[in-house]
Amino acid sequence: MNNRTRYTRQNVVSNNFYQLPKFLFDAEFRNLSNDARVLYALLRNRHEISIKNEWYDENGEVYLYFKRDEMQSTLLLSDKTITKAMKDLKNNALVEEQRQGFAAPNKIYLLTAIVQPFGIGTPDTIPVKFTAMEETAKNQHTRNIYGTETVEFTARKPQDLRLYNNQNNKSQNNNNQSSQSVNSDLTETIKQNIDYHSFTISHAADIELIDEIILIMIDCMLSKGEYVRIKGEDKPRELVKSVLLKLDYWNIEHAVAQFKGITKPITDKQRYLLSLLYNSKAETASHMTNLVISDLHEQ
């Protein structure tokens, strides 16, 4: 026990964790074994490699490859236990497998349960396949709305995220109403891009920081200036806006971890966060590359 120590703030930020979704403990999945729940978390973690390798089909649905013996060695479980856990996940419509022919590993689709309200009463859960976070159609839609020179925004310093979602705010004139609509649409686009709902579950303690990050992104994209200063260097505003609109869940998670790991005083928090966001895309890609190389070496 000499190699054990209490968690420090830095440990919490820098450690890697498997994500175990809360819905796996809902009433619908009460008969799901704990082995199946842990295996689900392991499979979910493999999506990092899937995204890096662009393993998603024409519908943007993410798949992965994971041999049974790899599952056994990673979880330290027998073949019988892994087989039972996979059957458990399949029976609960949480995993689908497609055979790829002789000697080829099966293509695995992981499904997630989403809450879908049907009128009055208890919401039902519906299993859906994970979709690629950077699927081409969504990025093209984003660029069409916000990525062209013809779109002009009215700059305003946001003070509260609720300002952009409150449809009952009274406007003084039609211009204010139009600006409010643009702000609301932009906020919703960012939230969809970064999978904001997942953050409310997996990073509930950081949600205020994530809300602030969204405000900083909006403030930057709605600014009228031709350039944005990033780490002492002026970048074209349209370039910065394009980068910010391509950020996904993993990029934001990386920026949050970087920010929480800072120990020295920060004189300009907003500008510092903006720099982290701007660089997070490239840094996350580099991290994914290292994961893939490490995984290949382990195999």
> Pick from 88, 113, 132: which residue ends a domain?
132
Number of domains into which the chain is organized: 2
Domain residues for the domain of 63 are 20-132
Q: What are phi and psi of 138, to 5 degrees?
A: -70, -40
pLDDT in tens, 222-264: 888 888 888 788 888 888 888 898 898 888 988 998 898 888 8
Given a contact cutoff of 8 angstroms between Cβ atoms, the answer to whether 70 and 295 are in contact is: no
Rounded CA separation 136/209 (Å): 28
Helices (H) and strands (E) in the chain, counts: 13, 6
> Higher-confidence residue: 201 or 293?
201
Given a contact cutoff of 8 angstroms between Cβ atoms, the answer to whether 39 and 95 are in contact is: no
Query: In terms of domains, do 186 and 83 share one?
Result: no
Query: Mapping DSSP to helix (H, G, I), strand (E, B) and coil, where does residue 173 land?
Result: coil
pLDDT in tens, 36-85: 999 999 999 888 888 888 888 888 888 999 999 999 999 999 999 999 99
> Pick from 73, 104, 132: which residue ends a domain?
132
Give me 18's structure tokens. 């498997």
Any idea which of 73-82, 92-101, 149-158, 290-299 has the lowest mean pLDDT?
Answer: 149-158
Give me 202's structure tokens. 């997996």
- b/e per residue 170-205 (b: at least 16 CB within 10 A): eeeeeeeeebbebbbebbebbbebbbbeebeebbee
Residue type, 190: I
Query: In terms of domains, do 171 and 115 share one?
Result: no
Query: In terms of domains, do 240 and 272 share one?
Result: yes
